[in-house]
Structure formats: C-alpha cells, structure tokens
Amino acid sequence: MATNLDLIYERWKASLRDKDRSKGFVDSNFDELFDALKGAGATFDEGHAILPSAIKAHQPSIGLAKNTWKLLKNSTKNSDLTEKEFIDQWNKDIADRGTNSFYNAFSLPNEKDDDGEPKVFGSMSAKEYKLQRKNASSYPILDTEELERRLLSDAYNPADDILGDKDKNGKSN
C-alpha cells in the first residue's frame, strides 16, 4: 500500500510544475493530493507522514522567493518586512494551508475510551463523574448574604464601588 501512496505523492509533486502555485491555488493543490491519498485508502498516519514532504515540495525555491521579494519589497504591504521575514511568512502560509487541507481530508483518530465502566451519568462513568465533582467542589462558594444586606439597606450605592467615594461636591477623592 505504501508504494501506491508514494506513487500518488510523486505524481502530484511532478504535476506541481504545471500547476498554478500562487496564493489562490495553494489550498486546491493540497486538496488534490490529500483527496487522492484518502481515495487510495491511506490512513491518518500514512497521510501525516507525507505532509512535511508535500509542504516542502509546494514551497518556492530560494531563487524564486528572492526574485519575488525584489518585485514586492516596495509595496506598502511589505514595507515593514525584511527579505527573510517575507520568505518565512510565505513558507509558513503554505505550511499552514497544507496542514489545514490535510486535516480537512483526514480527521484526527479517535481516542479510545480506556474506562470500561458503563456510562451512567450522561456520557460519564461513575469514576469520571466523581472526578468531575471533586474538581467542581474545589472552587470557592460565593457567600452573597453580606452583599444582599448592603443592597437592602439604603446606605449602599453600587456606583460608589465602581466610581469610588465622592465628597460633598460630587468630586472623586
């Protein structure tokens, strides 16, 4: 199976020479590869092993990146970037788009539930429920009795808590 996946990757890599690799087509180029791998029965791990090579294959050569920088360095969008920052940002954008495309095609493998107990409390076992209650009981309980007494007496003004005390003329201290 791995040889078939390698062939799919090599065919895609060779086809990149004829494809539009501009920003608008990066996603569709990666989608094409990962859809083909998924269609060939690739597992998450097999596809993930190909991801770094695919990203590297789609990134521009150093010469192309430097020539593009020379053309775009005076634009307002790139005026605060150095050549290295521009190239790094370009490569990171391609890597991010390739990774997003991969995860769109291959969902994360489900974690196995190692708790074999029956689910009694919603989707939780008795053990999970006890752990959740223990965590919840560690939070302090708010005592509102003093606040209620202050609210019921006419002496409490919530604006004083927010704005601070004021003198007789209405000015803050």
Per-residue pLDDT tens over the stretch 36-66: 998 888 888 898 999 999 999 988 889 988 9
Res 52: pLDDT = 93
pLDDT in tens, 72-127: 888 878 778 888 998 899 899 999 999 999 998 888 776 665 666 777 777 788 88
Q: Which of 72, 105, 138 is the last residue of a domain?
A: 105
Quote the CA–CA distance of 163 and 137 in Å, as a whole number. 34
Residue 70 placed within a domain: yes
Query: Is 148 within the bounds of a domain?
Result: yes
Q: Residue 149: what pLDDT?
A: 80
Owning domain of residue 124? 119-163
Are 60 and 11 part of one and the same domain?
yes
Residues 131 and 100 in one domain: no
pLDDT on residue 111? 65
Which pLDDT band holds residue 166 (cuts at 50, 70, 90)? low
Model confidence pTM above 0.75: no
Instruction: Record the tokens describing residue 142, joined without a space.
Output: 């708010």
How many other CB atoms sit within 10 Å of the CB of residue 30?
Answer: 24
Dist CA 27 CA 11 (whole Å): 17
Q: Are residues 29 and 78 in the same domain?
A: yes
pLDDT at 56: 92
Say yes or no to pLDDT of 156 above 80. Answer: no
Residue 171 lies in a domain: no
> Domain boundary residue among 55, 74, 105?
105
